[in-house]
Chains A and B, each alone.
Chain A
Amino acid sequence: MASRHNPTKNTRDHTHSVRIITEKLDPWHELTVYQNEHLTKGQFGATATFVGTMRDFNEGDGVTGMTLEHYPGMTEAQLQTIIDEAHEQWTLDDVLVVHRVGPLLPGDPIVLVACWSAHRAAAFDACRHLMEALKSRAPFWKNETLTDQSNRWVEKNTDGYSPDNNSV
């Protein structure tokens, strides 16, 4: 049966889909503003979102602060590539990735990934894929400040797909 739903697959300009910010991230505000500006009401039936938030603990230690560094230019390009790949793999109306850099405190949102699609499967699957790809391929680095005021670089991200790991 013909569908009226026709996101312009692979032809749409997705360059507005990536934002790297230094100010506080309000994911729900970002989501609302983006949806009002870039999505067409009635066209999408599913919105899947992931929000990553800074914890006050890591690897058994208390964490009081964090500084996120990135590679300006490459980070945006890598995220754009990851988003373009998601549009190739799933039929999506749109994608938004917002990532904060600079100094953060526990409880601060770090990252928002949102996917809009006609149906939930594509939205859920693409959202998960985007988040895992961001974690493993986008050039960001975390430097933690511990409760004793010492600093350390986070050496690697956990594997979100590993069955014995519940921390994405």
Chain B
Amino acid sequence: MAIKVKCFASMREYLDLSEREIGIDGIKTVADVWRSVAGGKPMPENTLCAVNQSQANEEFTVNSGDEVAFFPPVTGG
């Protein structure tokens, strides 16, 4: 099993990543997921994270099969 990573809006452009699966090896938290896909880029200060479509922080534990998303502040309505 793997972790599905999704990025939206300006975050998709920042990381040049829309959707991707990564292996679970060495991944314990949302922050680890970021390091795995960000290619050394720092996480912008206002980044929002979600695990399985619920908002989560960087320390949140992730498991095999989870969906992890990164996106900027929301601007709907």
Query: Which residues of chain B from 13 to 68 have a CB within 8 Å of any chain A CB?
Result: 50, 53-54
Cα(A28)–Cα(B53), bound, Å: 31
Question: In the complex, which residues of chain B have a beta carbon less than 8 angstroms from the beta carbon of A111?
Answer: 76-77
Query: Which residues of chain A from 150 to 168 have a CB within 8 Å of any chain B CB?
Result: 153-157
Residues of B in contact (CB 8 Å), total 15
Question: In the complex, which residues of chain A have a beta carbon less than 8 angstroms from the beta carbon of B73?
Answer: 155-157
Tell me if A70 and B6 are in contact (CB < 8 A).
Answer: no
A115 within 8 A of B: no
- Contacts A71-B8, A74-B69; is A157 near B53 (CB within 8 Å)? no
Cα(A155)–Cα(B50), bound, Å: 19
Question: In the complex, which residues of chain B have a beta carbon less than 8 angstroms from the beta carbon of A140?
Answer: 74-77
- Contacts A71-B6, A153-B9; is A141 near B75 (CB within 8 Å)? yes
Cα(A52)–Cα(B6), bound, Å: 28
Q: Name 14 A/B residue pairs within 8 A (Cβ), A-sorted.
A: A71-B53, A74-B53, A74-B69, A134-B77, A135-B74, A137-B74, A139-B74, A140-B75, A141-B9, A153-B9, A154-B75, A156-B73, A157-B74, A157-B75
Chain A interface residues (CB < 8 Å from chain B): 52, 68-71, 73-74, 77, 99, 110-111, 131, 134-143, 153-157
